[in-house]
Structure 1
Amino acid sequence: MTVQQPAPVPGDLAVAPELPDVLKARKPLTGFTGFLRKNPSIAIGGFLLLIMFFIALFAPWLGTVDPTAISTARRTRVPSELYWFGTDMLGRDIYSRVMYGARVSLLVGFSVAILASVAGLVIGLFSGFVRWADGIIMRIIDGMMSIPPILLAIALMALTRGSVQNVIIAITIAEIPRVARLVRGVVLSLREQPYVDAAIAAGTRTPMIVFRHILPNTLAPMSVQATYICASAMIVEAILSFIGAGVPPATPSWGNIMAEGRALWQVRPHIILFPAIFLSLTVLAVNMLGDGLRDALDPRMAKRL
């Protein structure tokens, strides 16, 4: 085999030297910083959520006063250097009530997300893998899903007294069907996979198959669903408090603050404005975090593919 030689260069011509690399090769993004740069929704949503956690945790040290202290001499004050967010009809400092109200919303949102995810995971795994129980459980779930979550929560709260614990329980019961149906759908598709058939043929017991092969594959979609449940629970809690069916009126929560200021919203809109802004930012942060997790955990939607 002969190697073709390059053509000779005429004497009156010169060969230009190779150009140097002006642009340096970019190093691939790795680690935690690279993950956040590839998923800006997670970075922005997580940052906003951390701010809300900081506010809720350090509320007593953020220039606040007693959020339940009443002073008739300073009623309906507009925002100023002394009262940053103004005061309400009873003379209570709205800034302090908004800062402390973050505790209620975050507690309800994350408690409902955790409890509903755990309960829905157990129900979905059992319903999806145990064929004889699937029909019975799904008919109950369908019946619960036929009622809007807010109406079901109102009905459950009507049977009990207003408290943060009862609000968490009522919203959790209303949100469990969403997680259970999602997990069941994932389990139905996973139990037909070849590796599950191979495990059954090898004599592996059903609990071991569920925990080793089925459960790990349900955590990613369930985690994304949990973020949406958290945001929905915050909104439902605010609605329940707004209509007087949620936490007690004396407890500072964003829903209670807006409920107390609705009678004066035309002349003192700041009473509703500030808690509404904080509620919107918190729900936006949780939803952005959920969208980012969905894009990062779903290979079909990952930006790097």
Structure 2
Amino acid sequence: MTVSTTNTVPVPPGLVIAPQLPDLLATVEIRRGVLGFLRNHPVVAIGGALLLCLVLIGIFAPYLGTVDPTALAPAKRTRAPSADFWFGTDALGRDIYSRVLYGARVSLTVGLSVALLASLAGLAIGLVAGFVRWADGILMRFMDGLMSIPPILLAVALMALTRGSVGNVILAITVAEVPRVTRLVRGVVLSLREQPYVDAAIASGTRTPMIILRHILPNTLAPMLVQATYICASAMIVESILSFIGAGTPPTIPSWGNIMAEGRALWQVKPFIVFFPAAFLSVTVLAVNLVGDGLRDALDPRMAKGL
């Protein structure tokens, strides 16, 4: 009896087609794209969604029912939250809702700017210190000296030498955060420079700058990206501390630290003045930390669970 296959190819006499064996292993589904990455890592999705909402709040603050955050209204001071003043008013009659939403611009600008600048500076210094042996001792002793000073004290000292402004706050916090990135990148480079492919590049006559750019730099981006998220969160907290103690942004610029500082004298009787900016600061820091934790799990091959 002649048996034919699905494509009508005749089978020689005496031969039969074996039945299809069941799959012993489940088919591996490779999820690609941004949506697939977010499905595999919901922590990043949650943190990113919260952070995106806060960024949009800061950008579109003038269109979210706000008023001039610096407008004084002594007759309406310390009003409790109501339909007219959603978050209440402070001791000078300023609308806390408007000040909190505009304050998101300051905190997010400081956090993202410090993360970017500190990452770039720390990356450059860490690459040189980790790969160039003679420069390691000089650069790292300087970084160790900066790390011996608590970041908040170093930022206060730098702010004492300049006038209060957002730019000076960013510069002061960046100087305090650069050593953290430098030590991280240096540690990664020290392990990478002993790899066989680096030895092969050196033996083939490749110049040191090209080795750093082609073979070392790409392998340092993943841990540095995770570290940048933590620096962003730390920078926002430090900025609030500086503003709270009067060493950060000037009082004319609404920031979460300024709002909390102005309401601390009335904390026991008017706690809402401090509660709302503190809540926004906590949610923002939580969102950034969630993104950092999710990226750490996603970029660490030992913790990856799916393809």
Q: TM-score, normalised by structure 1?
A: 0.90
Equivalent of residue 154 in structure 1, options 156, 160, 163: 156
Q: Which residue of 2 aligns with 1:268?
A: 270
Is 2:184 the counterpart of 1:182? Answer: yes
How far is 1:220 from its partner? 0.5
CA distance in 1: counterparts of 2:305 and 2:200, whole angstroms: 34
How far is 1:250 from its partner? 1.3
Q: Which residue of 2 aligns with 1:206?
A: 208
How far is 1:56 from its partner? 0.5
Gapped regions of structure 2 (runs ≥ 5): 1-25
Equivalent of residue 227 in structure 2, options 225, 228, 232: 225
Equivalent of residue 279 in structure 1, options 281, 285, 306: 281
How far is 1:136 from its partner? 1.2
Is 2:145 the counterpart of 1:143? Answer: yes
What secondary structure sits across from 1:262 in the alignment?
A: helix
Q: Which residue of 2 aligns with 1:86?
A: 88
Stretch moving more, 34-43 or 264-273: 34-43
CA distance in 2: counterparts of 1:43 and 1:153, whole angstroms: 33
CA distance in 2: counterparts of 1:211 and 1:26, whole angstroms: 35
CA distance in 2: counterparts of 1:140 and 1:41, whole angstroms: 37
Equivalent of residue 70 in structure 2, options 46, 61, 68: 68
Gapped regions of structure 1 (runs ≥ 5): 1-23
Equivalent of residue 247 in structure 2, options 245, 248, 272: 245
CA distance in 2: counterparts of 1:72 and 1:113, whole angstroms: 39
Name the CA shift for 1:93/1:219 in 2 (closer, same or farther; >3 Å).
same
What secondary structure sits across from 1:258 in the alignment?
A: helix
Q: Please tell me the residue identity of whatever aligns with 2:285.
A: V
CA distance in 2: counterparts of 1:190 and 1:304, whole angstroms: 26
CA distance in 2: counterparts of 1:59 and 1:265, whole angstroms: 26
Name the CA shift for 1:270/1:26 in 2 (closer, same or farther; >3 Å).
same
How far is 1:143 from its partner? 1.0
Q: Please tell me the residue identity of whatever aligns with 1:261.
A: G
Is 2:306 the counterpart of 1:298? Answer: no
CA distance in 2: counterparts of 1:240 and 1:168, whole angstroms: 11
How far is 1:128 from its partner? 0.6
How far is 1:255 from its partner? 0.3
**CA distances 1:80-102 after superposition (whole Å, capped 9, x unpaired):** 00000000000000000000000
Q: Which residue of 2 aligns with 1:34?
A: 36
Q: Please tell me the residue identity of whatever aligns with 1:272.
A: V
What secondary structure sits across from 1:83 in the alignment?
A: coil
% identical equivalent positions: 77
CA distance in 1: counterparts of 2:280 and 2:305, whole angstroms: 30
Q: Please tell me the residue identity of whatever aligns with 2:86.
A: W
Q: Which residue of 1 aligns with 2:6?
A: none
Q: Could you tell me whether the CA contact under 8 Å between 1:295 and 1:303 is conserved in 2?
A: no
CA distance in 1: counterparts of 2:27 and 2:81, whole angstroms: 54
Q: Which residue of 1 aligns with 2:171?
A: 169
How far is 1:199 from its partner? 0.3
Q: Which residue of 1 aligns with 2:57?
A: 55
Name the CA shift for 1:155/1:84 in 2 (closer, same or farther; >3 Å).
same
What secondary structure sits across from 2:284 in the alignment?
A: helix
Q: Please tell me the residue identity of whatever aligns with 1:260.
A: E
Q: Please tell me the residue identity of whatever aligns with 1:135.
A: G
CA distance in 2: counterparts of 1:110 and 1:31, whole angstroms: 25
How far is 1:29 from its partner? 4.0
Q: Which residue of 1 aligns with 2:259?
A: 257
Equivalent of residue 236 in structure 1, options 235, 238, 242: 238
Q: Which residue of 2 aligns with 1:20?
A: none
CA RMSD of aligned residues (A): 1.4
Name the CA shift for 1:139/1:25 in 2 (closer, same or farther; >3 Å).
closer
Is 2:137 the counterpart of 1:129? Answer: no
CA distance in 1: counterparts of 2:133 and 2:27, whole angstroms: 55
How far is 1:32 from its partner? 2.4
How far is 1:148 from its partner? 1.0
Q: Which residue of 2 aligns with 1:16?
A: none
CA distance in 2: counterparts of 1:133 and 1:146, whole angstroms: 20
CA distance in 2: counterparts of 1:74 and 1:199, whole angstroms: 71
Q: TM-score, normalised by structure 2?
A: 0.90
Count of residues in Structure 1 that have an aligned counterpart in Structure 2: 282
Q: Please tell me the residue identity of whatever aligns with 1:246.
A: G
Q: Please tell me the residue identity of whatever aligns with 2:88.
A: G
Q: Which residue of 2 aligns with 1:15?
A: none
